[in-house]
Structure 1
Amino acid sequence: MRCVIEKCCNKAVLIVGDCKYCGGQYCLIHRLPESHHCTGLETCRKVHFERNCDKIMSEKITPPIVR
């Protein structure tokens, strides 16, 4: 199976080449949503932004109260 990018002749990579946002199968060069101009890029950004925000907020350190 080949990468679905029109002028790309590289083989699609199993597992890491499958885009879960648009469903396309891509080679190593085009596997990232930014590299293949994914139609689900905005959804991808939103999901990862929320995940990172939750992680950062859970690791937030508050200073001790001095009395």
Structure 2
Amino acid sequence: MTANPTQCPSAALRVAGDCPHCQKVFCGTHRTPESHNCSGMQACRDAAFQANKERLERERTVASKIAQA
């Protein structure tokens, strides 16, 4: 965390400051989940990991079986 968002003198942003993971509103400096120590960060990472895992498993290449004569 780069700074304490609760002590930040900057005004919160209406649209860009909304965090979709913890539902709080932050200034431009603290709007990213990493910069405000987001409480929903781990759930976001877990969901992204699972989605990526499922996509990679669907796209897995399976070697064709070749009949030996």
**TM-score tier after normalising by the smaller chain length:** 0.5 to 0.7
Q: Which runs of 5 or more structure 2 residues have no equivalent in the other structure?
A: none
CA RMSD across the alignment = 2.0
- Give SS of 1:6's match: helix
Q: Percent identity?
A: 32
Residues 4-35 of structure 1 deviation map (CA, whole Å, 9 limit, x = unaligned): x2354555555443211111223454333222
Instruction: Find the counterpart in structure 1 of residue 24 from structure 2.
Output: 24
Larger RCO, structure (CA 8 Å, separation 6 or more): 2
Alpha-carbon deviation of 1:57?
A: 0.8
Q: TM-score, normalised by structure 1?
A: 0.67
After TM superposition, the runs of 4+ consecutive aligned structure 1 residues lying more than 6 A away are none
Q: How many residues align?
A: 63
- Give SS of 2:6's match: coil
Alpha-carbon deviation of 1:58?
A: 1.0
Q: Which has the larger radius of gyration?
A: 2
Q: Are the structure 2 counterparts of residues 52 and 18 from structure 1 closer, same or farther at C-alpha, using a change threshold of 3 Å? A: same
- Give SS of 1:23's match: coil
Find the aligned partners of 1:10 and 1:62 in 2 and give their Cα distance. 54
Q: Which runs of 5 or more structure 1 residues have no equivalent in the other structure?
A: none
